[in-house]
Structure 1
Amino acid sequence: MIRDLLINATLETLYMSLLSTFLALIFGMALAILLVLTRSGGLAPMPQFYRVLGAIVNAFRSFPFIILMIVLFPLTKLIVGTSIGTTAAIVPLTIGSAPFIARLLEAAMLEVDKSVIEAARSFGASRTQIVFRVLIPEALPAIINALTLTLIVIIGFSAMAGTVGGGGLGDVAVRYGYQRFRPDIMIYTVIVLIVMVQLIQMLGDFAYKRLKK
């Protein structure tokens, strides 16, 4: 029974984490591109817009996830029809992680050699072409690192989500481990989470090294 419980919880955690990371990457990339373009010295400088957007991103980054999840219960229910469960947890996981990955992606794109960007501009490349054919490809190894870190952070967030009905390994640890005085189950969930994080980090490091060659 414990094995089946852990397998189901692990699959729920992976479902929440992978889908949330994918959605956070989409929204985070859009935010990062806007931040890179509109900052002073960017391809479309808009300092006031950059400051406002940066402040919003920073505000969401500093929001404690467990509080953010509770605050977003009405929005979550509006989007998915319920505020509890693994699918419901994806909404706050995405919203909480998108600003985090946006800053990581912004930093990755800012590391791209300015001479490469200037060369593309001298050949008449548009802003869109520079972003998608220069900035993102050149920053891809750093983007992979950012994605790996974000996925690991989201796994940690998903465990917290389990404490308020989000399902997954966090839910098992609390309901079957803590509340039923089963420290063995809590230990099993921790071991599974450690193994999961180690595997993700290994895959991320492998992808980074391949792209850097």
Structure 2
Amino acid sequence: MTSAFDAVLLSYDEPVANMLHRRLNRVLGGTVKHLHGVQGMRRAYRLCAELVDTEQFFLADGDFSIDTRFPAADVDPLADGVSMRVWRAVNPVNGLTYGYGGLKLIRRDALREMGEAIDVLAALPGKVEFCQETAGTTLFNQSPYHAWKAGFRECAMLARGSEYGMADADTRARIDAWTASKEGDFATYAAAGAREGIAFAHEAALDAVRFDALNDPAWLKDRFTAAHGEQAVAG
């Protein structure tokens, strides 16, 4: 059966985004758009709301691989006051399974009214639901750079303090897992990124303008290249 909701796969430079879009289309059915390469993370998210015709829609990152068993046709709409529901994703380098990189069901109006936060979707108005069900795998480890970027951004935000109100013990456990990443492709780069992201948070956490560089792809690539070399960028 086809999902009652439209969907968007949002990508920037992920190497296998087209393949993952096709997979998402097969599993969800219906209308599955693909928005790629938009400069400005907040602008990209807001544009997603203009691509769909349903008031609530699935939103997937460009490195999200949906589980073919995901029961899209059985998904209930968001309740009043809830802006977003997040399904968990398997992390391929550190054994974690949580909301990072997971599938979202989100309101168009919530994206239009989004406030300011480093973790952009943490600035939605209303409540966020976190499901215990797993919807797929986040394949961020497609190159040394992409693995590093994932570890860097996530651990910088965790070290600064989760914008979703995560408990300190959970934050510590996730940081520890990221810094110990050793499974899957380019795990050592994810671990290096995690350590460097923590160091960046210690330097810049109190400077909102500087910390917002986490959402600047050019700045991230320059920082990675400076530390790990041009060859690693290319994989």
RCO higher in structure (CA 8 A, sep ≥6): 1
**TM-score, structure 2 as length reference:** 0.27
Please identify which structure carries the higher strand content.
2
Which entry has the higher C-alpha Rg, 1 or 2?
1
**TM-score, structure 1 as length reference:** 0.29
Please identify which structure carries the higher helix content.
1
